[in-house]
Amino acid sequence: MREPVIACIALGANLGDAARAVTGAMAAIDALPFTRVLARSRLWRSAPVQAQGPDFINAVVRVSTGLSAPALLAALQGIEQAAGRERPYRNAPRTLDLDLLLYGDARIQSAALTVPHPRMGARAFVLRPLAEVAPERVSAADIAAVADQVIEAVDSVSASPGSRS
């Protein structure tokens, strides 16, 4: 195991019981080896961006992880697959979507992974929940840049620590 790193992960779903998929994924992330959820945002509802289908339920978690960025990405993809994620075409509706937004201060550019996530600054459904769990990573200018995107909080889950069973 490596020295723990603080990472932020975006969660989204718009098929089936999307809220349950997102909250279940939060628990699955908290159960990953060498990984602990430190904070979770509220759930947010937003219309699909560059896609079709029902509205999305979105959230962000901040974690401490001893996994490398590629290992964390692989674990997140495993959680997606366990939730029935299919990728029939780009931006297809999905049962669960997990994106590694930030991995400490690392800048990673590979065929499989780009960190920081290249489109996070253009998406209110990422920035609003990210601001709840890592306010130092989101500026007022960032929020202002996406102010025209419709997004609403749908629950009162606070940015509280994850729970372990």
85 is catalytic: yes
97 is catalytic: yes
From the candidates 40, 42, 94, 128, which is the catalytic residue?
94
Q: Give the span between the Cα atoms of 157 and 41, in whole angstroms.
A: 7
Q: What is the DSSP string of the chain?
A: -PPPEEEEEEEEE-SSSHHHHHHHHHHHHHTSTTEEEEEEPPPEEE--SSS-SSPEEEEEEEEEE-S-HHHHHHHHHHHHHHTT---SSTT---S-EEEEEEETT--EE-SS-EES-TTGGG-HHHHHHHHHH-GGG--HHHHHHTTTS-EEE-----SPPP---
30 is catalytic: no
94 is catalytic: yes
The token duo for 25 is 């994924």
From the candidates 30, 40, 42, 99, which is the catalytic residue?
99
From the candidates 30, 62, 97, 128, which is the catalytic residue?
97
As annotated, the active-site residues are: 85, 94, 97, 99
